[in-house]
Structure 1
Amino acid sequence: MPSAGASPTPDQGQPQRPRRADAQRNYERLLATARKVFSERGVDAPLDDIARQAGIGNATMYRHFPTRRELIIAVYADEVAALCAHGEALLEDESPGDALFGWLRAFIAHVAAKRELALAIPNDQGGQRSALFDRWHKTMHTTASALLTHAQSCGAVDADLDVSDLLTLANGIAVASGDSDQVERCLGLLRRGIAT
């Protein structure tokens, strides 16, 4: 999953100096371990356990992520980046309709699995949480829009369909569906409903 050393920090959006190779490896190892631990044990899992499982000292972890909030933001930002990179790769698919619905399936899985992670980011007086959410939503919206436009240009889906409506429907499936079979049935209904 993407996590470039020169990427903006989650809060300030300012470029960082590129990390040394060993520091970048530690950062990526911490991020991967945090993703796994948060998924298995929830976002309240002890940070010391994450450092231990990553094979990295606490001091190194706190240099990269001084607070739990910063670690949660980094993990969630990485998840969004991976979802959007997946969408960009799907733009090369020979079947734009399949590409759109392949990404919607991934989007639904993301919302269902990562909603708790996103909601665990504490609010703040400066409005940074809202700014992060806005940026992530815009990124996903842009990815969905590109896939939808491609599918529309090939006649695979209704030309009048709005991307915001499509994402609202997909979000509803993610939040309301009880299991993967129901997700697939709902996606099938959605696809038949917007097909040309």
Structure 2
Amino acid sequence: MNNSDRDTGHATRPKRADARRNAETLLDAAAAIFVKSGVEAPVRDIAAKAGVGTATIYRHFPTRADLIIAVYRHQVDACAEAGPALLATSPTPHIALGRWVDLFVDFLVTKHGLAAALQTDNPGFETLHDYFLDRLLPVCTQLLDAATASGEIRPDLNAYQLMRGVGNLCIGADNDPRYDARHLVELLVAGLRRPR
């Protein structure tokens, strides 16, 4: 390997990190626009929110389906990664669980915005539900186990039941301004506490 090869190798690493950050910025912008305007929102709106040109979005995500799948996975990953961090930084495991459930609700609101698109015949969408469960069930289990071990919550609920219950409470939240899903989810999480 000559010096120019070494220099090139060093120059490409930061670009890969920059490209990853740029893609994350695009995904965050797309998620925000999808929540506000739906998955059929113009790409130019996403580009404006991200501070890039539309060509940059198409370079990363050639089709709208590619973008929708990437937003979904990005949000699942962010929710999964937040669980252990919240457990490490929250005053108690029950508080960590409540904070994580708040993030999960935020994800579900966006997911319900993607629901129509996810029901199409695009083969890329087929694996998303499994990805969702594979990434989030272990995190929710870890949080529930920690809160149970600390004696804060009842031991008679598993992660799937909690996630399903939260999901059911979120259905229709975006269509009815009188319905406050977040408040009901807070009551659900509070109800997990062990009676004193």
Please classify the TM superposition score into its range, dividing by the shorter chain length.
0.7 to 0.9
**Structure 1 residues 143 and 55, CA, compared in 2 at 3 Å: closer, same or farther?**
same
Query: What are the residue-to-residue correspondences of 1:16-55 with 2, within 5 Å?
Result: 20-55=16-51
Looking at structure 2, the residues matched to 72 and 185 of structure 1 have their Cα atoms a distance apart, in angstroms, of 28
Give the total of aligned pairs.
179
- SS state of the match for residue 156, structure 2? coil
Residues 28-177 of structure 1 aligned to structure 2 (within 5 Å): 28-92=24-88, 93-121=90-118, 123-124=120-121, 126=123, 128-175=124-171
Which string of whole-angstrom CA distances, capped at 9 and with x for unpartnered residues, describes residues 65-124 of structure 1? 110011111112111122222212111123111211221232223213431124423533
- Assess if the C-alpha contact under 8 Å between 2:80 and 2:136 holds in 1: yes
Structure 2 spans left out of the alignment, 5+ residues: 1-12
- What displacement does 1:194 show? 5.2
Q: Identity over aligned residues, as a percent?
A: 36
Q: Could you say which residue in structure 1 is the equivalent of 2:182?
A: 183
Secondary structure of the residue aligned to 2:127 is helix
Partner amino acid, structure 2, of 1:51 = A
Partner of 2:191: 192
- Could you say what the CA RMSD is over the residues aligned between the two structures, in angstroms? 2.9
> CA distance change for structure 1 residues 183 and 38 in 2, over 3 Å: closer, same or farther?
closer
Contact 2:47 2:57 (8 Å CA) reproduced: yes
> CA separation in 2, counterparts of 1:189 and 1:121?
28
Cα–Cα, structure 1 residues 192 and 34, in superposed 2: closer, same or farther, change >3 Å?
closer
How far apart in 1 are the matches of 2:114 and 2:54? 22
Give the AA of the match of 1:117.
Answer: L
* Contact 1:76–1:118 under 8 Å retained in 2: no
Rg larger in structure:
2
Shift of 1:52: 4.8
Tell me the CA shift for residue 137 of structure 1: 2.1
1:115 is matched by which residue type in structure 2? H
* Cα separation, partners in 2 of 1:95 and 1:20, compared to 1, 3 Å: closer
Q: Which residue identity does 2:107 align to in structure 1? A: H
With normalisation by structure 2, the TM-score equals: 0.75
Spell out, residue by residue over 1:25-73, the C-alpha distance to the aligned partner (whole angstroms, 9 max, x if none). 5423422332232222221112244335544344332221110011111
